[in-house]
C-alpha cells in the first residue's frame, strides 16, 4: 500500500471517514514542528491511530515515524519537567518521596511528552546538594500506565536516571568508563557476556551495564543542571527474569567480603523471591573464593568466568576503580553456577576520590598492587585476600590481556581522549551555567579533560611497568 500524507489546515482536527481515502494518513499536529498524531483510514471505513510518535520536520517537509523508539542522540538531550509539587530533596527506601508532573524530552528534535514522577536516586550521592533523579514515565494522569521506550537501541525502559555528576566536574567519567568496559568485553573472539543463551542468544539491547547521553534538566522552566540521561540497574538490562531461580544478581555493599557470604553486605536484586536453593548456589562462589594455594586456581573456573574476572580486574586497575572491588559490583549468574562480576557506579575513577575533593596520583598506587609489588594491598579493601590470591594465580593471563588491550588501542590515550571528547562536546556553553549555579562542585578546580588525559598517560606508564614487565616474571604480591 502506498501511503499518502494529508495535512489538515485545522489544528487538532480529528478526520472523519469522508476526509480520507483508503491509504491516506492524516497528520494532526499541535505546533509548527514537533510531535505529530497520525491517523489513517482502514479498509472497513473507520479511522484508527497510525502513530502517536511521529515527528514533522517543517524545514525538510518530512515526517519521521517513531514507534516508541528514539535514535541515538546527536546533541544534548533537553529534559523539561513541570510540577506543582515540591521537588524531593531526600530518598526514602520504604516510603518513596515523589514529585508528580509532566515531562517533555527532546531527543534530536523528537519530543516525548508524558506524565512523569521524579524521585531522588542513589545512596551516598543522595546526600549531595545536587541530586540524581529517577524519571518514571506514564501515559496517564493517574500514574498507573507505565510508558516504555527505547533510546539509542538500548532495551526499552519506563524509568531512566538523571545522573547529576555532582562530584565530577567533567560530567563524563561515569559513562566514559561504561563505554570503555563495552570495548573491553568486545575485545574477545567469543561474544560478550549478556546472559542470553541458546535460542535466546540475540542482541536485544540489554548491555548488562549502564549507558547514557549528555543532558540538561530544567524544572518549571528553571535550569537545574547538566548531567547524563542513563539506563539503570533494571532486570531487563541484564536479561534477568524475576521468577527464574537461576537468575541471581547481588550488589555488594561497602565493604563486602568475597570469601564468606554475609547477607547484610549484599543487596539481593534477583530473583524477586529467592527459594531455599538460593544460598546454596551463592556459596558455590564464596566457598571457591575462600580456598588458598593451588586449590584456589584449580577451583576458580568452576564457578567464575575467568575471562570476565580478568577483564574486570584490569578495568578496575586501569581506571583506578577501587570502589568496585568490594562495593557496587553486580555479581550475576544466569545458570546458578557460573558467576560474572559486572561494574556499576563508575564516577570514582581516573584518580578522582569518592567525594571529588582530590585526585590520586596515577603512577604510585594500584587497586591491589603498588609500584614496588612489596606485598602492599589497598588497606581499605575487605576483599583484599581474594584479589591478592587472584592476581597471584593469574598474573600471566592478566599481563597478557593487558598487553592485548593496549595493542588493540583500548588502553590508550587516544581512545580515552576520544570517549571524553564525545561526551563533553554536547554540553558546550551549558558548562558555564552549571558552574555558575553549583558553585561548590568539589572537583571543578582539580579535574578537567586535560587532567584526565595526563593521568591516563602516567597510568599507562605505570601499568606497562607492573603488568608488562614485573608480573609476567612470576613475582608474587
Question: Mind listing the pLDDT tens digit for each residue in 264-296?
Answer: 999 999 999 999 999 999 999 999 999 999 999
Nearest in space to 318 (alpha carbons), one of 468, 168, 450: 468
pLDDT band at 4 (very low <50, low <70, confident <90, very high): low
Is the pLDDT confidence value at 26 over 80?
A: no
Q: Among residues of the chain, what percentage have pLDDT more than 70? A: 81
pLDDT band at 376 (very low <50, low <70, confident <90, very high): very low
**The pLDDT of residue 93:** 85
Grid coordinates representing 400 are 597478557
Give tens-digit pLDDT for 324-370: 998 999 999 999 999 999 999 999 999 999 999 999 999 877 776 65
**The pLDDT of residue 323:** 87
> Mean pLDDT across the stretch 12-16?
62
388: Cβ–Cβ under 8 A, 6 or more apart, which residues?
Answer: 368, 377, 477
pLDDT band at 33 (very low <50, low <70, confident <90, very high): very low
| 81, 218 Cβ separation under 8 angstroms | yes
Is the pLDDT confidence value at 445 over 70?
A: yes
What is the average pLDDT value for the chain, to the nearest integer?
Answer: 87
440: Cβ–Cβ under 8 A, 6 or more apart, which residues?
Answer: 129
pTM of the model: 0.85
pLDDT band at 126 (very low <50, low <70, confident <90, very high): confident
Give tens-digit pLDDT for 47-93: 655 554 555 555 555 555 545 888 899 999 999 999 999 999 999 98
Q: Among residues of the chain, what percentage have pLDDT more than 90? A: 68
Amino acid at each position: 500500500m502506498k501511503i499518502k500524507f494529508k495535512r489538515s489546515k485545522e489544528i487538532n482536527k480529528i478526520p472523519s471517514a469522508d476526509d480520507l481515502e483508503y491509504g491516506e494518513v492524516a497528520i494532526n499536529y499541535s505546533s509548527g514542528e514537533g510531535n505529530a498524531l497520525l491517523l489513517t483510514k482502514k479498509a472497513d471505513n473507520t479511522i484508527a491511530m497510525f502513530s502517536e510518535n511521529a515527528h514533522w520536520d517543517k524545514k525538510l517537509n518530512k515526517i519521521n515515524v517513531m514507534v516508541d523508539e528514539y535514535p541515538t542522540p546527536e546533541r544534548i538531550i533537553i529534559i523539561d519537567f513541570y510540577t506543582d509539587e515540591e521537588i524531593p530533596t531526600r530518598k526514602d527506601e520504604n516510603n518513596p518521596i515523589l514529585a508528580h508532573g509532566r515531562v517533555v524530552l527532546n531527543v534530536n528534535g523528537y519530543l516525548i511528552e508524558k506524565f512523569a514522577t521524579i524521585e531522588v536516586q542513589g545512596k551516598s550521592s543522595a546526600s549531595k546538594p545536587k541530586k540524581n533523579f529517577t524519571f518514571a514515565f506514564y501515559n496517564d494522569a493517574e500514574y498507573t500506565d507505565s510508558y516504555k521506550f527505547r533510546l539509542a537501541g538500548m532495551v526499552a525502559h519506563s524509568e531512566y536516571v538523571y545522573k547529576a555528576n555532582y562530584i565530577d566536574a567533567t560530567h563524563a567519567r561515569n559513562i566514559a568508563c561504561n563505554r570503555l568496559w563495552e570495548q573491553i568485553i568486545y575485545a574477545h573472539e567469543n561474544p560478550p557476556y549478556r546472559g542470553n543463551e541458546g535460542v535466546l542468544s540475540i542482541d536485544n539491547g540489554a548491555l548488562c551495564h549502564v549507558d547514557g547521553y549528555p543532558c540538561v534538566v530544567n524544572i518549571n522552566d528553571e535550569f537545574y543542571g547538566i548531567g547524563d540521561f542513563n539506563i539503570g540497574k533494571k532486570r531487563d538490562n541484564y536479561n534477568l527474569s524475576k521468577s527464574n531461580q537461576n537468575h541471581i544478581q547481588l550488589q555488594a555493599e561497602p565493604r563486602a567480603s568475597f570469601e564468606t557470604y554475609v547477607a547484610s553486605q549484599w543487596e539481593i536484586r534477583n530473583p524477586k523471591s529467592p527459594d531455599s536453593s538460593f544460598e546454596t548456589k551463592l556459596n558455590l562462589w564464596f566457598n571457591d573464593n575462600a580456598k588458598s594455594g593451588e586449590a584456589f586456581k584449580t577451583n576458580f573456573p568452576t564457578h567464575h568466568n575467568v575471562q570476565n574476572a580478568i577483564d574486570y580486574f584490569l578495568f578496575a586497575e586501569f581506571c583506578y576503580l577501587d570502589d568496585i572491588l568490594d562495593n557496587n559490583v553486580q555479581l550475576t549468574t544466569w545458570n546458578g553456577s557460573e558467576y560474572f562480576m559486572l561494574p556499576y557506579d563508575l564516577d570514582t575513577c581516573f584518580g578522582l576520590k569518592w567525594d571529588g575533593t582530590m585526585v590520586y596520583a596515577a603512577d604510585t598506587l594500584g587497586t591491589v598492587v603498588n609500584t614496588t609489588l612489596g606485598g602492599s594491598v589497598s588497606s581499605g579493601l575487605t576483599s583484599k585476600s581474594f584479589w591478592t590470591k587472584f592476581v597471584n594465580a593469574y598474573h600471566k593471563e592478566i599481563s597478557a590481556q593487558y598487553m592485548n588491550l593496549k595493542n588493540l588501542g583500548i588502553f590508550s590515550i587516544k581512545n580515552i581522549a576520544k570517549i571524553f571528547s564525545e561526551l563533553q562536546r554536547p554540553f558546550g556553553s551549558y558548562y558555564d551555567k552549571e558552574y555558575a549555579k553549583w558553585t561548590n562542585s568539589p572537583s571543578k578546580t582539580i579535574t578537567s579533560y586535560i587532567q584526565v588525559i595526563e593521568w591516563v598517560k602516567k597510568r599507562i606508564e605505570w601499568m606497562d611497568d607492573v603488568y608488562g614487565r614485573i608480573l609476567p616474571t612470576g613475582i608474587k604480591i
